[in-house]
Amino acid sequence: MMRAMKQNGSIASREPPSQNQLLEFLESVTPFRFLQQREKIALIPELERVEYAAGDTIIEQGDDRDQRVYLIFQGSVEVVDPRRGAAARQLTVEERHYFGEWEPLFEEPRVFAVRALQDTVCYALSGQRLLRLVDVSRAFAQALGNILRDRQGIFAAFDHFTVELVRSANRGYVPMVPMTRLYQALQPALHPLASSEAIDFSALEYAIRRLPSNVTRVFAFLLTDQLPAGFIAPHAFFPDVPTSARRRDIWEVLPGKNIVLLRDGISDLVDLVSCLCLYAVEARKIRMRVQQPAAVHALFSAANEEQRSGEAARTERNGVDPEFPFSAEELTRFGRIWPEAPLARLWDIVRHREMFSIRVRRRQNSYNSRRSELWTEQVGSAAKELLGVHPTGLADDIPVHIISSNTHSVTNCLNPWYAQNGTAILQWADSVGHPVVEEQWSNRDDLIYALARDYFLAFPDRAAEAQELAGQNGVVRLKETASTGIQVQIADTARINLDGIDRGVDRGGAAQRAVIVNIDYAFGEQAQHIIRNLLMLFGTRVRSINFLGKAGSLVGKRGDVLVPTAFIAQSSDQFEPLPERDPALIAQLQSRLRANQVHRGPLLTVNGTLLQNRTMLHFYRRIWGCVGLEMEGFHFYRQVIESSQLGVVSPHAVMRFYYYVSDQPLDSAATLSAPMASAEGVPPLYAITRQILSELFS
């Protein structure tokens, strides 16, 4: 509240400063001093002079209406947290500085209260005007970002988590209890209820799908980049442990003990440990619901009944026992997470008590290189089998195109089997009432591709038939991945029946023989190891490197496409601009999307899907102008640039980066934990695939 100030000798009785004085004032305040002169002059009429007496409250904690930013012309203020009593003061802000920028930037209510320490004059600027300055002035935005990151330490929680994880891994042991506390301090966007007592079912499902299926019964993890010498063929000795939404090589070597084979770089370690932290947070909430003896007995009885009688008896029990610690609705949601025996999994959690022991063993200075090299050897052998000559012996005039995409869209578009059998697939889907048919489809071929997986499950012989025809049509698929998780298909365009490929692919310039090497998605830092080996294998014959990825979007909607203009590394803020793409090609891609849009701008390469929160996302959206985030692009691109500079590949090799939007982390209804409909994901995936293949052929 602003009070009237004394007139004799007070600030209020002095003459207001002239325009030149205000201009000098703006030039003394970082980041405003970095605005162009014309921008500062244009800003002056929008500054509102406000005066406060000592002790006046300028900002109320929790206020979501006042979004102004205050520049201190004279005086000083204190930032306080009234909830902390005697320790309420957080910091003091002196004149020629500012406060109040956090809330408009990050779209939050006021985090702290602000009081005048003495008679104080401020010039207030609307939050919307601040955001416009960030948008139009790169210098202003970068200066503001440096203050937020370096002086205010807004990413300190991320740094603490990553540093402690790396340090612990280097010591060989990751302590779960302190790591879980550091994880909760991140306030991950995908785990909005991390600090709440309420069970976050969506976040729990996200973690469970990326953790080993026996996680509720495992106490010990051995994370390693190289298996013990006597167990180089672990499949012969130990049962595999599947993960439904993450490619991991995991074996149960003893009841309660898993070995996990880590992939290149630190990304796999970060992902696994952060998912375990999420699981531990939610498992504790579940366990705390089953504290009373009657609740323990009720769950124990229900789990035994489930084991004896199956699904029907469990459903009938919902809501019958008043001591049962979970509602019928909660049991239904647990049933989605664990479709088989959810009560048994809950009983495991109650007994487990989140007691994980995580040991890390890795070779010093040679992280996963041996498997990458073995994978490269397999790629070379497969290429020799298809082409009749090792990649290093290919004629220099045979172009090689590398595509990083997925295991199906590129080869599906090149396989005439789908054109020949599409009608049969649609008839089958209609006969069984397949739900995907009811979604909105504007392209018949997209629907056929979306149905193919379930069709092949119903008719396995047709899957073998499709794969055989692909082979006859010049596409070979590697059977092994050398535990990298990277599947590979190699295509010889001279053997492809162009009349039978996807109708949306332009065949205009396909007369020249070329080799297409399609590799599956890498994972985080693994991308640089994989692409480095491929570029060295095919060398200067590489004419293009194409990245078809999926990303979280900070603009638009699911199913849109992002075309990056640069990559930014989250860990260092290193900025790597990309070559300009031909506007005509962008327009062509837009025409393929129909109902969705193409967005251009920088992409943020994050360290992990859980290592992001709303503050971080708003920061990179506002300060850097990022349109989305992903995990591999920066690593992939840096390796291509390095190979080009070293002469491994031609500096004229074309680079194409296209991403379809799989989630929107700032929208709780469209995050990775929320299912994506087939009609949202398949059309943009195939639109990008057709675009890349058309550019290669033309």
pLDDT of residue 225: 86
Pairing mode of beta strands 357-361, 220-224? parallel
C-alpha 202 chain-centroid distance: 16
pLDDT of residue 11: 52
**In three state form, how does the secondary structure of 179-241 look?**
HHHHHHHHCCCCCCCCCCCCCCHHHHHHHHCCCCCCHHHCCEEEEECCCCHHHCCHHHCCCEC
pLDDT of residue 375: 86
Last residue of a domain, one of 338, 358, 378: 358
Q: Is 604 exposed, middle or buried (0-12, 13-18, 19+ CB in 10 A)?
A: buried
Residue 125 shares a structural domain with residue 213: no
Q: Could you tell me the sign of the dihedral formed by the alpha carbons of 446, 447, 452, 454, in that order? A: positive
Mean pLDDT per 10-residue segment, the chain (698 residues):
40 74 96 96 96 96 93 96 81 95 93 95 96 95 94 91 95 96 95 95 96 97 85 87 91 95 88 97 96 93 87 48 89 94 96 94 60 84 90 92 91 94 96 94 95 95 93 86 82 89 84 88 88 94 95 94 96 92 95 93 94 93 96 95 95 95 84 80 96 92
d(CA 434, CA 245): 23
Residue 254 shares a structural domain with residue 132: no
Say if 609 falls within a structural domain.
yes
Residue 395 shares a structural domain with residue 543: yes
pLDDT of residue 313: 44
Stated pTM of the model = 0.89
Last residue of a domain, one of 117, 151, 185: 151
| DSSP assignments along 124-155, one per residue | EE-HHHHHHHHHH-HHHHHHHHHIIIIIS-TT
pLDDT of residue 364: 59
Phi, psi of 516 (to 5 degrees): -110, 125
Say if 452 falls within a structural domain.
no
pLDDT of residue 316: 46
Q: Are 282 and 182 in contact (CB under 8 A)?
A: no
Last residue of a domain, one of 89, 119, 151: 151
**How many domains is the chain partitioned into structurally?**
3
Residue 492 shares a structural domain with residue 629: yes
Closest-CA residue to 279 (of 343, 341, 326, 217): 217
Say if 599 falls within a structural domain.
yes
What 3-state class would DSSP assign to 55? Answer: coil
Residue 504 shares a structural domain with residue 555: yes
Residue 221 shares a structural domain with residue 346: yes
Say if 445 falls within a structural domain.
no
pLDDT of residue 504: 94
Say if 463 falls within a structural domain.
no
pLDDT of residue 82: 87
Say if 448 falls within a structural domain.
no
d(CA 144, CA 138): 10
Residue 378 shares a structural domain with residue 313: no
Q: Can you give the residue range of the structural domain that contains 335?
A: 160-358
Say if 526 falls within a structural domain.
yes
Say if 491 falls within a structural domain.
yes
